[in-house]
Amino acid sequence: MASRKDFMETLYRESNGRIFDFLYKYTGNPETASDLMQDTFLNFFKKYSNSDLNKEQALKLLYTIARNRSINYAKKFSTVKESGSDDMGSYREEGQSFVRKTELSDLESRLMDCLDDLEEGERYALVLKNIEKYTLADIADIMGISIATASRLVVKATGKLVEIAKNKQILPME
């Protein structure tokens, strides 16, 4: 039992940042993301603490639970989504100039606003694929859809995101 407890502690320590980032990208609010992350892990530990899941399986389940928790949150508070300020620590490559960092931060912020214009499933698929670097098979598992549907969703969402960015005149600086 001690080894299972160690596994759960290690899983939390190694993946809480990823789950938080995933939820923050969806909610845009660090406090809400933190609450949802804690709820995600609590739910996971209650249901799966005695299971023989490996790390990869556990991480997929955590993303699935996080996604479901954020959907429930959005439905519960569906009036207007909060758009918190970017007071999270920025994990940028060192050595970039202040101006370049500011440009990238501004571009990221404007692109995140574009994500808000996508449908919920499209937004999740893009975040999982491009930010969390999951494969289509993993996205399909997390979202409970087929791999073909996941592929179509990512392609469709990418096209819509590019179109939204063009309409808002958001172009990356070369």
Q: DSSP state, 168?
A: T
Q: What is the pLDDT of residue 10?
A: 92
Mean pLDDT within 111-125 = 83
* pLDDT confidence band for 13 (50 / 70 / 90): very high
Mean pLDDT within 48-76 = 86
Q: By the 8 A CB rule, do 114 and 168 touch?
A: yes
Name the residue with higher pLDDT: 19 or 114: 19
Name the residue with higher pLDDT: 84 or 8: 8
Number of other residues whose CB lies within 10 A of the CB of residue 155: 11
Q: DSSP state, 94?
A: T
* pLDDT confidence band for 38 (50 / 70 / 90): very high
Q: By the 8 A CB rule, do 95 and 114 touch?
A: no
CB neighbours of 120 closer than 8 A, spacing ≥ 6?
A: 71, 74
Rounded to 10°, the helix 55-76/136-143 angle is 50
Q: By the 8 A CB rule, do 74 and 81 touch?
A: yes
Mean pLDDT across the chain, nearest whole number? 79
C-alpha separations of 167 from 29, 81, 128, 149 in Å: 25, 22, 24, 27
Element (H, E) at 55: helix 55-76
Residue 8 has pLDDT above 90, yes or no: no
Domains of the chain: 1-82 (1.10.1740), 98-173 (1.10.10.10)
Mean pLDDT within 65-69 = 89
CA 68 to chain centroid? 12
